[in-house]
Amino acid sequence: MNRDGMGTKDEERAARLKAALRDNLRRRKAQARSRAEDGPAESPPEPAPGSPSGPRTDGT
């Protein structure tokens, strides 16, 4: 720990970060449980055959 109190600031920051990470994990788990209860998510529609799906490779 430094004499100017930098160690204390680092410890406070680490505690805030730890709490935020814990909250984020809790929220993600709750979201996953909710999605599992709702059933499988609907996948986005696939592009129709022959429709452009990316950059053209013929140079035009």
Q: What is the pLDDT of residues 3-36, one digit of tens each?
A: 555 689 999 999 999 999 999 999 999 999 999 9
Statement: residue 55 has pLDDT above 70: no
Statement: residue 44 has pLDDT above 80: no
Q: Which residues of 18-55 are buried (b: 16+ CB within 10 A; e: fewer)?
A: eeeeeeeeeeeeeeeeeeeeeeeeeeeeeeeeeeeeee
Distances in Å between the alpha carbon of 20 and those of 11, 33, 45, 60? Answer: 14, 20, 36, 49
- The residue with greater pLDDT, 2 or 58, is 58
pLDDT at 45: 67
pLDDT at 26: 98
* Domain residue ranges in the chain: 8-37
CA distance 2 to 37: 51
Residue 42 is classified by DSSP as P
pLDDT at 19: 98
